[in-house]
């Protein structure tokens, strides 16, 4: 199977994928602190986890990733997964790796897997619809940022 759990040795590649995704989406400024990411993913109190997609026939290569954390639905009384980011490098697309990543997330929880998608991303919308995922009607996402200073 081309999907595996990330290991501490993957931190550089994880950060590179996130930065590459940012460039793909038009953010040329994002540069992540590798040490901080290592602490958040593999330290004594991890805050998130990552699945790595490896292309078939290319062991050791990284084609993409899913960056996740656990959540919990009070109304369903079940744990779920929040997919914060998913990205497959363009040269590895159309090989089923995005589907493999999402299928693995679905296998890991009896609850729901949820994520955001940027408005206007028609390719992603078509991909998610093909998977059977549906938009959540009637909900608006809010964000509360820490105070500056």
Supply the residues annotated as catalytic: 128
Cα 115 from Cα 112, distance rounded (Å): 10
How many whole angstroms separate alpha carbon 76 and alpha carbon 79? 8
Sheet holding 49-53, edge to edge: 3-5, 49-53, 64-73, 78-88, 113-115
Q: How far apart are CA 2 and CA 51, in angstroms?
A: 10
Say how far apart CA 105 and CA 2 lie, in whole Å: 14
Secondary structure letter of residue 93 according to DSSP: T
């Amino acid at each position: 199977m081309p999907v595996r759990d990330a290991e501490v040795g993957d931190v550089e590649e994880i950060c590179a994928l996130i930065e590459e995704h940012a460039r793909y989406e038009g953010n040329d400024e994002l540069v992540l602190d590798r040490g901080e990411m290592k602490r958040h993913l593999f330290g004594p109190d991890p805050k998130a986890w990552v699945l790595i997609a490896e292309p078939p026939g290319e062991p050791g290569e990284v084609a993409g990733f899913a960056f996740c954390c656990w959540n919990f639905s009070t109304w369903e009384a079940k744990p779920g997964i929040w997919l914060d980011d998913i990205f497959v490098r363009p040269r590895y697309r159309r090989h089923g790796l995005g589907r493999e990543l999402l299928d693995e997330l679905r296998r890991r929880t009896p609850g729901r897997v949820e994520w955001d998608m940027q408005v206007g991303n028609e390719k992603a919308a078509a991909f998610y619809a093909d998977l059977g995922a549906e938009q959540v009607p009637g909900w608006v996402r809010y964000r509360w940022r820490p105070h500056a200073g």
